[in-house]
Amino acid sequence: MKIFNAGKYRIMEAAKVLDNNGKPFVLNFDSAPSRINAAIFDNNGVCAGKCHSATDRFLNSIRTDVESEYKRRGLGIILRLTQVIHMLENNLESILTRPTLEALPFNEKLKFDYAADEYGIYMELPNKIVRKNHDFFNGLFEKHGLDYEI
């Protein structure tokens, strides 16, 4: 996987990825000042999922959506992994998200922990936790065809 400078941030080039069943998808990226977006497309060019993130000291996961017919196939994990790579490559402190109740177990599985601020409860995945659990994340990168290693 190639990573390049896009303005002030390092982002990944488009890459082929695999769902939980080994079916190929294409992962695309774009960035703007303080923002990174990723989208996954099937072989017919249909968008299967996307995520939008704002970036400063943290990566704020604004929204991550996988289309209903593609759920439970690992595409949400792939989108989260792109955020992990972005956090690591840009030396950001953590990924923050305010998930729906339905998404809490998904984020817990990916080592997110609970935190709170004046706006309520959120979940956080610190850079140091990703590095500490590098074997877990490297296994996910490999499973989904992402040529990246912590």
**For residue 150, what pLDDT band results from cuts at 50, 70 and 90?**
very high
Residue 3 banded pLDDT, cuts 50, 70, 90:
confident
Work out the number of other CB atoms within 10 angstroms of the CB of residue 45: 7
Q: Confidence class of residue 33 from pLDDT cuts 50, 70 and 90?
A: low
Give the C-alpha separation, 51 to 2, whole Å.
20
Q: What is the pLDDT of residue 128?
A: 97
pLDDT digits (tens, 9 = 90+) for 48-94: 999 888 877 776 877 788 999 999 999 999 999 999 998 999 889 99
Mean pLDDT calculated for residue range 98-113? 92
User: Does residue 99 have a pLDDT over 70?
Assistant: yes
Helices 134-143 and 75-89 cross at an angle (nearest 10°) of 130
- Give the H/E segment covering residue 48: strand 47-55
What is the residue-averaged pLDDT of the chain?
90
Report the chain's terminal Cα–Cα distance, integer Å. Answer: 13
CA atoms within 13 A on the CB side of 133: 15
CATH number, domain 3-143: 3.40.630.30
pLDDT at 17 over 80: yes
